Structure 1
Amino acid sequence: MSDFQKLLDQALEKVNLTPVDDTPEMEEYDIDAEVRDLVISARSAANLTQKQLAQRSGVSQANISKIENGNYQPSLSTLKRIAGALGKRLVVSFEDPEV
């Protein structure tokens, strides 16, 4: 083995080849929790009971309860009916993640 090769081997032994992950960690986004919180807060702000919201929206009170308890993932059409009953417009958008 040449002296040059020995020098290269010695230099490479000092190099750290461990990959570095420098991307910031993002919290897992829970869309179901956000929908649940939005339905609860909008209903409360409108001073409506679950039963009243159900009557206005045509969504059963049982399903309103399941949405608010996180036991049911409503479709966009269901959310649109709930929004309309609350005098709101449903808006869906894609946004950059918060870092």
Structure 2
Amino acid sequence: MSDFQKYLDENLSGIQLNEEDASYDVPDEYDIYKEIREMIIKLRHDNHITQKELAAKCGITQANISNLEKGTSKPTIESLKRIADALGVRLVVDFVGREVE
């Protein structure tokens, strides 16, 4: 066991959480990647093209398109621009205020 692990074990072992601490609600975070995935899938379906066809149009592999749509990889701005161009839309990046619930 490393010295660092011993230090952690010794210093963190006394920490106890009560039920009140452990059960607080974590607010939903805004997931921009989920929104991007949903937009890509919707636009691809609206254009009646497969992942393979989209890949051929934008020069990104079908596997990468699949990974983007599944959320196992995150797109770069460059790949989003290429996908947008292939789908016949313009990529727009904007900063807007958050909605207050």
TM-score using structure 2 length: 0.71
Q: Flag structure 1 segments of 5+ consecutive residues without an equivalent.
A: 1-24
What is the match of residue 5 of structure 2?
Answer: none
What is the match of residue 46 of structure 1?
Answer: 47
One-letter amino acid of the structure 1 residue matched with residue 32 of structure 2: I
TM-aligned CA deviation for residue 26 of structure 1: 5.9
Is the counterpart of residue 58 in structure 1 residue 40 in structure 2?
no
What is the match of residue 68 of structure 1?
Answer: 69
State the number of aligned residues: 75
Report Cα offsets for 1:54-80 as digits up to 9, x if no partner: 000001100000000000101000000
What is the match of residue 28 of structure 1?
Answer: 29
One-letter amino acid of the structure 2 residue matched with residue 82 of structure 1: I
TM-aligned CA deviation for residue 43 of structure 1: 0.5
For the pair shown, the structure with the greater C-alpha radius of gyration is 1
One-letter amino acid of the structure 1 residue matched with residue 33 of structure 2: D
What is the match of residue 93 of structure 2?
Answer: 92
- Runs of 4 or more consecutive aligned structure 1 residues displaced over 4 Å after TM superposition: none
One-letter amino acid of the structure 2 residue matched with residue 98 of structure 1: E
TM-aligned CA deviation for residue 39 of structure 1: 0.6
Report Cα offsets for 1:26-69 as digits up to 9, x if no partner: 63100110111011001000000000000000011000000000
| C-alpha RMSD of matched pairs (Å) | 1.3
Q: Flag structure 2 segments of 5+ consecutive residues without an equivalent.
A: 1-25
One-letter amino acid of the structure 2 residue matched with residue 29 of structure 1: Y
Residue 36 of structure 1 aligns to a residue whose secondary structure is helix
Report the identity percentage. Answer: 49
Q: Distance in 1 between matches of 2:51 and 2:99?
A: 32
TM-score using structure 1 length: 0.72
